[in-house]
Structure 1
Amino acid sequence: MRSSLRHLRVHVPGATRSRATRRELLGLAALGVLATGARPARSADSRLVYAAHISLAPTWFDPAETPGIVTPFMLLYALHDGLVKPMPGNPAAPCLAESYSASADGLSHSFVLRPGTIFHNGAPVTAEDVKFSFERYRGNAAGFIKEQVAAVETPDPRRVVFHLHRPWPDFLTYYSSVTGAGWIVPKKYVESVGEDGFKKEPIGAGPYKFVSFTPGIELVMEAFDGYWRKVPTVKKLVWKVIQEETTRLAALKRGEVDLAYSIRGELAEELQRTPGLELKPVLINSPFWIYFADQWDPKSPWHDARVRKAATLALDREGINQALTLGHSLLTGSIVPKDFDYYWQPPTIPHDPAAARRLLAEAGFRGGFDAGEYFCDSSYANLGEAALGSLAEVGIRMKMRAIERAAFTKGYSEKKYRNLIQGGSGAFGNAATRMETFVAKGGAYVYGSYPDIDELFAQQTAETDRAKRTAILHRMQQLVHERTVYAPLWQLAFLNGQGPRVDESAFGLISGHPYSAPYEDVRLKGGA
């Protein structure tokens, strides 16, 4: 397994991409495609260019469609702003709201808007925009959060009050960061241009305003001089879509981009050796896992807990971690990030192929079996190939279906996939929010559930005693582990490349967040 993983370290993600061997990389260098060092940057200007590892989608311009993964926040932090949102040192910092308070009985939550805040078109941010944005929200957990809210009142243009049916300890967590419901869009503008018009030319209240979008090519934004927190010093942000990992690194070396997302394996090692470039690893709130989507189907091999356990024991997590993220990722054995509130640490899952084969034999699959398709986000196809290599060693044979991220996420949430799904989420939240989205009945990515776990989830939602709530959520996570609902892979360390023009990339400023943020804190050298 180790030798095959070593080869995967230079694999370019994508369903139809071929491997790039070390010899091929040297050949590219000889042709000048990969430079041996970072070339002098283009003439100094106040523009910063990102190499995006995924194809950007207009759905991510709109907070109302936030899908329960972190990807949209790569753009939301530039275009939009929330009443409160995660910021450096504060997971719920007042932003468009200057203050927040909850009533003693927990039944009402009040926000006072910051005076003078405006949208990109100059319109003031008002309480009506806040109410409209909440009511319009249709993304992850929309039904769940709206079921808790009895009414939204706007006593005056700067005050908003959310009244709940019952005390709910996670209101602010869901409103500020787990969903996009608290990220504010201009009511009058959306109503005037319509839903499709808003995606074509979005207007927000964030530090950057939309300039242009060429699908599959690039997105351009420029600094908004009216942003309340500070005017960005970088006057233009450009995201270039470069899905090939080798091409992202080449562009960084040539000075065509300043920051490159997701540079892994041998390419990350190459980046570290390149003068003028820096590898910027960030451990993020993004566990990855294999989901046994058919475990509730009595006709499926995955219905047998022994088969699920065998797959879990087959995975060489440490080898995959070293091969792809140079050992920076964290092997927690959980689908909940380690630093989240109410996290329960499961026992270590060993890499034990012999035990996996014994379990398969006990379940009637002595020679293994053909397990169908393995669905994954194409930008993590190399992780999928490594996992499939581990499964194949114990006789679980599968074919990969790697799908571009926006389409993959849509299909995952619409319950279109079967067999195994490689999932992951870097969304903000706590253990309860992860249970709601990925475990409990009705969750955005839940294909089936267990009644006792669902009952525990309902109990913790209304529990205001922290110790009791902790015990309930720990028990839920324990049951998910014992029943092998998921096969955890890792908590991802997101490896990025930084070029010589960058003074502050803003990687890691917001705890657990994978991308640059806040964008108004990004700086180029020389103050540009």
Structure 2
Amino acid sequence: MAKKQLLLLVGLMLALSVFLAACTGKEKSEEGDKAASKDGDDKGTEETTKDEPAEEEALDFPLDVSNKEAAIEDGELTYGLVSDSPFEGTLSTVFYSGAPDAEVMQFFTEDLLAADGDYLITNEGAATYEISDDNKKIKVMIKDNVNWHDGEPVKASDLLYSYELLGHPDYVGERYDFMKENVVGMPDYHAGKTDKISGINVIDDKTIEFTFTEATPSILSGFWSTPTPRHHVGDVMTGELTMEELMASDKIRVNPIGFGPYKVAKIVPGESVLYERYEDYWRGKPALKSIVLKVVSSATALEALKKGEIDYADIPADQYLNAKTIENVELLAKVDLAYTYIGFNLGEWDAEKEENVMDPTKKMANKLVRQAMWHAMDNETIGKELYHGLRFPATTLIIPVFEGFHDSSNEGRPYDPEKAKALLDEAGYIDVDGDGFRENDKGEEFVLNFASMEGGETAEPIAKFYMQNWADVGIKVQLLDGRLHEFNAFYDLLKKDDKRVDIYQGAWGTGSDPDPEGLYGRTAAFNYPRFTSEKNDELLEAGTSEKAFDTEYRKDIYNQWQELMVEEVPVAPTVYRYALTAVNKRIVNYSIDPGSDLWLYEMGVSE
């Protein structure tokens, strides 16, 4: 660890903590953190970004609560949604993008097909499935007594409706990806050439069959099985309402329904949700009578846990040491389906063609500069000193959770300032005027605007730490607008390709499908760097091809893809993360094990 970097970080943290203590009388801390659920369709969930203990202490966490008592009959629980911004309130799996909305929806929405510990679909959910011998068809059969919260049965046509919305020519969300495009007839439907999706066949009210153009292993981990209640939200297909009207509708934002274990009783927009037990839930009676979800800031979450004001919260890693001292809670943790990264503005989204387009005039067009900036970042110090070992340097864009596809032999671009300087020299970025900062290869001033989001005590020190890392190798970086940006405003900058943004710090929930096309494909709206290349297209296509049912073949393809992205650096992954959850010791039947999908239904309290 470079002594200079550590002193800088400590200085930034000390100055800020003294300021906060003077203002509030207590030290505050980091930002909220959390996103992807077990569904592969949560890929692209936009996230907030976040004295080292002994290694065995930092990594040895349970997955299950220790309380083995029976749940009381009509228990109540308060869930803390840790966020420094209000939740947006787009409470539809088709249209949402932010992690806070995903947390709100998890109590009342559900996929028809459950997933196992390897994130592969099973027959243990509200529906079963059959896949054809050629792997090009999947038949989904909804079980009996699977009903929406208003008592109407969940129908095969409701699953069809999700696909009709996702592929609609007027759809402006970001979840139209390879697995939807791969449905036979979907490209023509999406282009407005037909009003029917020929590859989806509703056999009866309980049975629906999908036919795919290409056989792909993503059918097991990336198949969308979340229906939309057509009768409740209204039917865009009949002209009852427009897509814009649906997205703004109270049926989504104020009075949403699902078929999950709890139903929405009341929403205070952006602030809280009251859920009540759904007595007719298809698995049986849920353990809790009610759940209150309320937004708590990252700075106040621990105090709320300590006072018993909330029973559950995902804890920012920088608060780990303080969280350990709270007697009425216990900590659970696992490596998360997420990573943080620095993104580079390389182009724009072409709305007419619905694809990303590279722009060679962008400041970050030279990949040698991007490579240098990755080498300049001291992510190990960030992970150890701010996150107490609960963050560790990221190497590639396929996370370690996908053990079979993460290339552990690829070291990415580790911290090496001298290598960074050499790459900048090679690129022709030299300090011409002797002010300590490099000019570009044309001898012009080179200053980068850095967009980063708000979020607790560490957000600003981390941004400034990276800015100093880059300054140490001669790159001048300044915060866009001289400040951090609120979560929703930050992602709005990226979605609109704000030309003022040269680089940015973001975070992705990956979802449960290792296929990275939904984040980095040519037609992926979530591809905020707007990176494209023929080699990228080729590898992403191969990774979901019929050949990819051969695991070794798919592993080789994804190793090549990880190597390509380390070479091209459209984004520089910074840290992988442990997701740290604090739960009140009165909670029973709760687990964060990926193989357990019953926690919402079975979770209760013993007192």
SS of the equivalent of 2:211 reads strand
* Cα drift, residue 290 of structure 1: 0.8
Tell me which residue corresponds to 1:63.
93
SS of the equivalent of 2:575 reads strand
Letter in 1 for 2:384: Q
Tell me which residue corresponds to 1:14.
none
Tell me which residue corresponds to 1:286.
338
Q: Once the two structures are aligned, what percentage of the paired residues are identical?
A: 22
* Cα drift, residue 153 of structure 1: 0.9
TM-aligned CA distance change 1:9 to 1:65, over 3 Å: farther
SS of the equivalent of 1:92 reads coil
After superposition, where does 1:228-243 map in structure 2 within 5 Å? 228-243=282-297
Give CA deviations for 1:298-333 in whole Å, capped at 9, x if unaligned.
444422222212211111111100123210224341
Is residue 2:451 matched to residue 1:372? no
Is residue 2:33 matched to residue 1:24? no
Structure 1 gaps of 5+ residues are 11-17, 31-43, 177-181
- Which of 422, 427, 431 is residue 358 of structure 1 equivalent to? 422
TM-aligned CA distance change 1:188 to 1:274, over 3 Å: closer
Is residue 2:343 matched to residue 1:261? no
Is residue 2:472 matched to residue 1:393? yes
Greater displacement, 116-125 / 363-372: 363-372
Q: Is contact 1:287-1:334 (8 Å) kept?
A: no
Larger relative contact order (Cα-Cα within 8 Å, sequence gap ≥ 6): 2
Q: Is contact 2:9-2:465 (8 Å) kept?
A: yes
TM-aligned CA distance change 1:497 to 1:46, over 3 Å: same
Greater displacement, 409-418 / 279-288: 409-418
- Which of 172, 197, 203 is residue 155 of structure 1 equivalent to? 203
CA distance in structure 1 between the aligned counterparts of 2:124 and 2:91, rounded to whole angstroms: 19
RMSD: 3.1
Letter in 2 for 1:460: G
Tell me which residue corresponds to 1:275.
327
CA distance in structure 1 between the aligned counterparts of 2:90 and 2:9, rounded to whole angstroms: 33
Tell me which residue corresponds to 2:268.
214
* Cα drift, residue 143 of structure 1: 5.0
- Which of 384, 400, 415 is residue 463 of structure 2 equivalent to? 384
- Which of 216, 231, 244 is residue 188 of structure 1 equivalent to? 231
TM-aligned CA distance change 1:9 to 1:189, over 3 Å: same
Is residue 2:368 matched to residue 1:306? yes
* Cα drift, residue 161 of structure 1: 0.3
Is residue 2:285 matched to residue 1:227? no
CA distance in structure 1 between the aligned counterparts of 2:267 and 2:12, rounded to whole angstroms: 33
CA distance in structure 2 between the aligned counterparts of 1:134 and 1:58, rounded to whole angstroms: 23
TM-aligned CA distance change 1:23 to 1:133, over 3 Å: closer
- Which of 501, 509, 513 is residue 586 of structure 2 equivalent to? 501
Q: Is contact 2:412-2:566 (8 Å) kept?
A: no
CA distance in structure 1 between the aligned counterparts of 2:598 and 2:459, rounded to whole angstroms: 26
TM-aligned CA distance change 1:518 to 1:371, over 3 Å: farther
Count how many residue pairs are aligned between Structure 1 and Structure 2.
492
Give CA deviations for 1:394-446 in whole Å, capped at 9, x if unaligned.
333323353333443344344336311222212323332x2x12322111222
Q: Is contact 1:60-1:75 (8 Å) kept?
A: no
Is residue 2:512 matched to residue 1:464? no
Is residue 2:380 matched to residue 1:318? yes
CA distance in structure 1 between the aligned counterparts of 2:74 and 2:176, rounded to whole angstroms: 42
Q: Is contact 1:291-1:485 (8 Å) kept?
A: yes
TM-score (norm 1): 0.84
Letter in 2 for 1:288: T
Q: Is contact 1:280-1:497 (8 Å) kept?
A: yes
Higher helix share: 1
SS of the equivalent of 2:544 reads helix
Tell me which residue corresponds to 2:9.
5
Structure 2 gaps of 5+ residues are 28-72, 185-198, 236-240, 348-357, 439-445
TM-aligned CA distance change 1:359 to 1:464, over 3 Å: closer
Give CA deviations for 1:190-222 in whole Å, capped at 9, x if unaligned.
117962122221011111111222234222212
SS of the equivalent of 1:101 reads strand
CA distance in structure 2 between the aligned counterparts of 1:453 and 1:189, rounded to whole angstroms: 41
Letter in 2 for 1:278: E
* Cα drift, residue 272 of structure 1: 1.3
SS of the equivalent of 1:61 reads coil
SS of the equivalent of 1:91 reads coil
* Cα drift, residue 377 of structure 1: 3.7
